[in-house]
Amino acid sequence: MNVKVTIVAIAFLLLGQAHADNLIYIDQVGSSATININQDGSGNRVGSSTTDSASDGATTTMDIDQVGSSNVIDYDIAGDDADITINQQGSSNESTLTIGTSAGSDGVNYTENISGDSNDITTNVGTTSATEDATITLDITGDSNTVTVNENSTAASITDKITDIDISGSTNTVTATKSGAAQHDTTINHTGSTSTISVTQSGAEDSTVDMTTNGSSSSVTITVSD
């Protein structure tokens, strides 16, 4: 099954104020889906307030772009070889992407680009089902952002279970937790002051944490166990 969905939701200006509140809910099943979502304005949402949007099937390609403030993304991905990109530009936005919880998801590539302040970014990988070879790339610019990565998956090799976080700004909080068998590989490049960074990795195989931080008065905690 081939599915292609393109959605554009635009909030127009009225009397000098932005009005939006566009809601997009997707429940997609089948392989080779291509989903593009563009939302412009404030108060927009992908996924309802009670139920996440969901895609279940192999080879899903998805791109979600939100420009504005107080926007929300709640999305669940199940299936192998997914290629997911999320872009949020603005402040007080939220995104929660859950990969491989309802069913295993092998070979997933997930990229998120965030620009703005006071955003809340959460990535959950393989928390209840077998998931392998997940690559997570997060690029965040702004202040007072909260970034949480919870990954419980396996890896076929040392290069197949990678989390790469680049974050620039002050008073940011980063929490990266990796568990499950096989290689744990986390890279964090941080620039800014008064941030809090915590990395916890546990499992049966090797762990690698590569961290660079440039700025004053930040707190860094790294815990690694077999």
Predicted local distance difference test score (pLDDT) of residue 208? 92
Report whether 77 contacts 64 (CB < 8 A). no
**pLDDT for 20:** 52
Distance CA 65, CA 43 (A): 14
* Residue 169 near residue 141, CB atoms below 8 Å: yes
What pLDDT does residue 225 have? Answer: 87
The pTM of the whole model exceeds 0.85: yes
User: Cβ distance 201 to 175 under 8 Å?
Assistant: no
Averaged in consecutive runs of 10 residues, what is the pLDDT profile of the chain (226 residues)?
54 41 90 94 92 93 96 94 96 95 81 98 82 92 98 82 96 94 90 97 86 95 90
* Contact in structure between 114 and 141 (CB atoms under 8 Å): yes
Sequence spans of domains, the chain = 3-160
**40 class by beta-carbon count within 10 Å (0-12 exposed, 13-18 middle, 19+ buried):** buried
8 A C-beta contact, residue 91 and residue 120: no
**Residues with Cβ within 8 Å of residue 14, at least 6 apart in sequence:** none
